Protein backbone atom coordinates (compact mmCIF):
# COMPACT_ATOMS: atom_id res chain seq x y z
CA UNK A 1 0.00 0.00 0.00
CA UNK A 2 2.90 2.33 0.72
CA UNK A 3 4.20 2.22 -2.86
CA UNK A 4 0.71 2.60 -4.32
CA UNK A 5 0.20 5.74 -2.22
CA UNK A 6 3.55 7.16 -3.30
CA UNK A 7 2.60 6.76 -6.96
CA UNK A 8 -0.94 8.11 -6.44
CA UNK A 9 -2.73 4.86 -7.27
CA UNK A 10 -5.90 5.45 -5.26
CA UNK A 11 -7.63 2.50 -6.93
CA UNK A 12 -4.94 0.11 -5.66
CA UNK A 13 -4.92 1.64 -2.17
CA UNK A 14 -8.71 1.32 -2.03
CA UNK A 15 -8.56 -2.32 -3.18
CA UNK A 16 -5.96 -3.15 -0.55
CA UNK A 17 -7.91 -1.31 2.15
CA UNK A 18 -11.00 -3.39 1.39
CA UNK A 19 -9.36 -6.76 0.77
CA UNK A 20 -6.32 -6.77 3.07
CA UNK A 21 -5.85 -5.91 6.71
CA UNK A 22 -2.16 -5.00 6.94
CA UNK A 23 -2.84 -1.32 6.44
CA UNK A 24 0.07 0.94 5.66
CA UNK A 25 2.98 2.59 7.40
CA UNK A 26 3.69 6.29 7.81
CA UNK A 27 5.73 5.94 4.60
CA UNK A 28 2.49 5.83 2.61
CA UNK A 29 1.67 9.36 3.74
CA UNK A 30 5.29 10.47 3.34
CA UNK A 31 5.40 9.23 -0.26
CA UNK A 32 2.11 10.88 -1.16
CA UNK A 33 3.12 14.13 0.57
CA UNK A 34 6.57 14.21 -1.03
CA UNK A 35 5.00 14.01 -4.47
CA UNK A 36 2.20 16.50 -3.76
CA UNK A 37 -0.60 13.97 -4.21
CA UNK A 38 -3.27 15.93 -2.32
CA UNK A 39 -6.10 13.53 -3.23
CA UNK A 40 -4.08 10.60 -1.89
CA UNK A 41 -3.15 12.46 1.30
CA UNK A 42 -6.82 13.23 1.87
CA UNK A 43 -7.81 9.61 1.10
CA UNK A 44 -5.20 8.19 3.49
CA UNK A 45 -6.42 10.52 6.21
CA UNK A 46 -10.16 10.00 5.71
CA UNK A 47 -10.47 6.40 4.52
CA UNK A 48 -7.36 4.54 5.65
CA UNK A 49 -7.19 6.62 8.83
CA UNK A 50 -3.41 6.85 8.99
CA UNK A 51 -2.54 7.79 12.57
CA UNK A 52 1.18 8.65 12.45
CA UNK A 53 2.61 10.73 9.65
CA UNK A 54 6.23 11.15 10.78
CA UNK A 55 7.93 13.85 8.74
CA UNK A 56 5.30 13.96 5.98
CA UNK A 57 4.42 17.62 6.55
CA UNK A 58 8.09 18.65 6.47
CA UNK A 59 8.71 16.59 3.33
CA UNK A 60 5.73 18.22 1.62
CA UNK A 61 7.00 21.71 2.50
CA UNK A 62 10.55 20.92 1.38
CA UNK A 63 9.19 19.86 -2.00
CA UNK A 64 7.01 22.96 -2.36
CA UNK A 65 3.67 21.25 -1.76
CA UNK A 66 2.28 23.82 0.65
CA UNK A 67 -1.36 22.79 0.24
CA UNK A 68 -0.41 19.30 1.43
CA UNK A 69 1.66 20.80 4.27
CA UNK A 70 -1.26 22.94 5.45
CA UNK A 71 -3.69 20.02 5.24
CA UNK A 72 -1.45 17.76 7.32
CA UNK A 73 -0.83 20.45 9.94
CA UNK A 74 -4.54 21.24 10.17
CA UNK A 75 -5.72 17.62 10.39
CA UNK A 76 -3.13 15.91 12.59
CA UNK A 77 -2.16 16.72 16.17
CA UNK A 78 1.50 17.57 16.83
CA UNK A 79 2.30 14.14 18.30
CA UNK A 80 1.24 12.44 15.04
CA UNK A 81 4.18 14.17 13.37
CA UNK A 82 6.64 12.22 15.54
CA UNK A 83 8.30 9.19 14.05
CA UNK A 84 6.98 5.87 15.31
CA UNK A 85 9.21 3.51 17.18
- Whether residue 2 contacts residue 13, with contact meaning beta carbons closer than 8 Å, is answered with no
- The pLDDT, as a whole number, for residue 84 is 53
Confidence of residue 83 (pLDDT cuts 50, 70, 90): low
Q: How many domains does the chain have?
A: 1
Q: Which residues constitute the domain of residue 24?
A: 2-81
Q: Is 52 exposed, middle or buried (0-12, 13-18, 19+ CB in 10 A)?
A: middle
Q: What percent of the chain has pLDDT over 90?
A: 72
Q: Which of 26, 25, 35 is nearest to 9 (CA)?
A: 35
Query: For position 17, which CATH number holds?
Result: 1.25.40
Predicted structure pTM score = 0.89
The SS3 assignment for 11 reads helix
User: At residue 71, does pLDDT exceed 90?
Assistant: yes
The SS3 assignment for 69 reads helix
User: At residue 46, does pLDDT exceed 60?
Assistant: yes
- The pLDDT, as a whole number, for residue 38 is 98
User: At residue 70, does pLDDT exceed 90?
Assistant: yes
pLDDT (mean) for 3-32: 94
State how far the Cα of 76 lies from the Cα of 33, in Å rounded to an integer. 14
- Whether residue 29 contacts residue 5, with contact meaning beta carbons closer than 8 Å, is answered with yes
Amino acid sequence: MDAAAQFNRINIVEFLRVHRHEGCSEWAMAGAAANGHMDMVRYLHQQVQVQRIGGSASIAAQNGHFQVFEYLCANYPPDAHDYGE
